[in-house]
Amino acid sequence: MNQKERIVEELKLLENKKTISQEELMQIFSISKDTARRDILKLVESGLAERYPGGVSQPILKPQIESYTSRLVKQSEQKQAIASAAGNLIKNQMTIYLDVSTTVHFLASDLEQNDLVVVTNSMDNAIAASQKEDNKIYLLGGFFNFQSRVLSGEPVLGQLQQFNFDVAFIGGAGLTEEGIFYSELTDVYMKQEIIRNSEKVYLLIDSTKVNKKTAFKIDFSGIDGIITDIPLPKDLLQHLISKEVEVISLKGL
């Protein structure tokens, strides 16, 4: 049975079981661990399943994500201001990570420091950061999602482990006392890997994302600071302070 035939059968299993582990795939189809991993990757990258540690589940139905270009023009003035504040945290010769985020893109477009090593899984960030010729740009390779303009998947996660970032700048789809929210499970895995390999991590997020939730989240472990355009709600601010997360609000606290 080739991969295409297995995928059809695996989808039938998911329809009945809702979740299926890598070990189950190995046993049911008499395949190796590497083959099972490739099948899982194919299911996830095709949008046919959501990944969880050790297996896959049926995809969670959610509203279509706004296109990257559409999100880029929204709140552009606020995003530019947030990016400018973030730029003050970067020093010459740092190794930095720039996440796939429209706010972070403004930062990539306005880097003034010299001799930076810039790592990203965003094609747009890589192009923007390369305008300063003395920067070294590493574009991580993986599955390319045209809508979100992001490269993702196991290859990207593996490549992240090879770096030690002085500072990483990440985005988010929502922010509450519960954590930082994302629309895709793969985003959560990416952020966790970025945090593990960074000395400092800052979340850049505009006011439209505050008190907004989506399907997946991470907690504030490993988050050093949050930069936003307006003061955060008092309860949220106090919670972040209790977690020792620095809050930089462009209009004061």
Tokens at 247, concatenated? 């809050």
Q: For position 74, what pLDDT does the model report?
A: 53
pLDDT one-digit tens code per residue, 9-28: 887 788 777 789 999 999 99
Q: What residues of the chain score a pLDDT lower than 50? A: 61-73, 253
Largest Cα span, the chain? 62
Nearest Cα residue to 217 out of 238, 235, 203: 203
Neighbours of 106 (CB within 10 A): 22
DSSP state of 67: P
Q: For position 47, what pLDDT does the model report?
A: 61
Q: Give Cβ neighbours of residue 195 (< 8 Å, ≥ 6 apart).
A: 168, 201, 218, 221, 222, 223
Q: For position 204, what pLDDT does the model report?
A: 98
Q: For position 150, what pLDDT does the model report?
A: 84
pLDDT one-digit tens code per residue, 138-175: 999 988 877 777 888 888 999 999 999 999 999 999 99
User: Counting beta carbons within 10 angstroms of the beta carbon of residue 47, is it exposed (0 to 12), middle (13 to 18) or buried (19 or more)?
Assistant: exposed
Q: Please give the domain boundaries of the chain with CATH numbers for all domains.
A: 3-57 (1.10.10), 68-249 (3.40.50.1360)
